[in-house]
Amino acid sequence: MSDAPKKFKSDIWLWVLAFLVMISAAVYQRLTGPTNPLRVSVNIGGQQFKYRLPRSAENVNDASIVIPDPGLTARVLWRRYPTEDPFNVIFMSPESDGEKKILVANIPPQEAAGKIEYRIEVAEAVIPEGETAILRFKGPVSAPLLLSHILLMFAAMLTSTRAGLGALLSRREKILPWATLSLILVGGLILGAFVQKQAFGAYWTGWPLGWDVTDNKTLIMFIGWLIACLLMNRVNLWRFVIPLAAVITLIVYLIPHSLRGSQLDYQQGVVQAVPTGQ
């Protein structure tokens, strides 16, 4: 009985640590990846301007490119990606956002998973310098579906980390590995497929159909935890397979979200994962 309070306190700290790992992974995912705004800083006329260039937009409306107004004429050059189409030119219009003066250009929407590349020219400055920003369009996703998918996937990260920490402390907890596997199955392979379908028109573009990193990450996590659950009843093997599955899950979460994701092939009119080398 005397060990019960110690175990209870230890459990609390293990859950707290697992929660902190989950939150850190969530913040990391929010700040990385090819669909998060591209942050650039540029000097125009002796003034430093900071821009956040969008790289994702829903295809139900135009994609708005908004920058602080430097008091100079600016234009956006854009074309479908990846193509050799000539660049379209849109001159940015001055507008007001409260007390701030901004310049706005609206790019017409593309089909789901269609991408455009663009750059902004202000006087002698080219934004971003030496490259173009890539913006991918997606279809609208049901808010309850998307929220359920996100919550279940981060719940899987939580239980995965907690299971791994417990195994490192020689705690044989059978429920957490199976809970993690179930969360990945429902949140990732099932709900994730429906999110993918609504956003980009395809349920699955990972292996063996393609190279979508997000789909393949989910598949790797599922296989890792399936193996761990099947082997954890073996004598002493659980001490190895549970922490290994947890480490694999953590590594997978550190890979930027939407890396080499679904992309519309404008020539063939089909959605596929970003080809190797792009």
pLDDT, tens digit (0-9, with 9 covering 90-100), for 158-201: 999 999 999 998 888 889 999 999 999 999 999 999 999 999 88
| 127 φ, ψ (degrees, to nearest 5) | -125, 120
pLDDT reading at 85 higher than 80: yes
Residue 68's pLDDT is 86
Average pLDDT in the 55-69 region?
A: 91
Greater confidence (45 vs 22) lies with: 22
Please compute, for residue 80, the number of CA atoms within 13 A of its CA located in the half-sphere on the CB side.
Answer: 15
Structure tokens at 9: 């306190």
3-state secondary structure at position 273: strand
Give residue 259's pLDDT band: very low, low, confident or very high (50, 70, 90).
low
- Residue with structure tokens 């969008």? 54
Q: Where are the beta strands (DSSP E) in the chain?
A: 38-44, 47-53, 56-58, 63-68, 74-81, 88-91, 93-97, 100-107, 115-122, 125-127, 133-138, 262-265, 270-273
DSSP states of 5-64 as a string? HHHHHHHHHHHHHHHHHHHHHHHHHHH-STTSPEEEEEEETTEEEEEEE--EEETTSPEE
pLDDT tens-digit map of 113-159: 899 999 999 988 899 988 899 999 999 999 999 999 999 999 999 99
Please give the Cα distance from 164 to 45 (Å, whole number): 55
Task: Using a pLDDT cut of 70, give the percent of the chain over it.
Answer: 91
3-state secondary structure at position 139: coil
Greater confidence (206 vs 153) lies with: 153
- Mean model confidence pLDDT for the chain: 87
- Name the helix (H) or strand (E) containing 215: helix 213-231
pLDDT reading at 87 higher than 60: yes
Please compute, for residue 172, the number of CA atoms within 13 A of its CA located in the half-sphere on the CB side.
Answer: 9
Q: Model pTM? A: 0.82
Question: Do the Cβ atoms of 55 and 34 come closer than 8 Å?
Answer: yes
CA 163 to chain centre: 24
**How far from each other are the two terminal CA atoms of the chain, in whole angstroms?**
60
CB proximity list for 177: less than 8 A, separation 6 or greater: 163, 225, 228, 229, 232, 242, 245
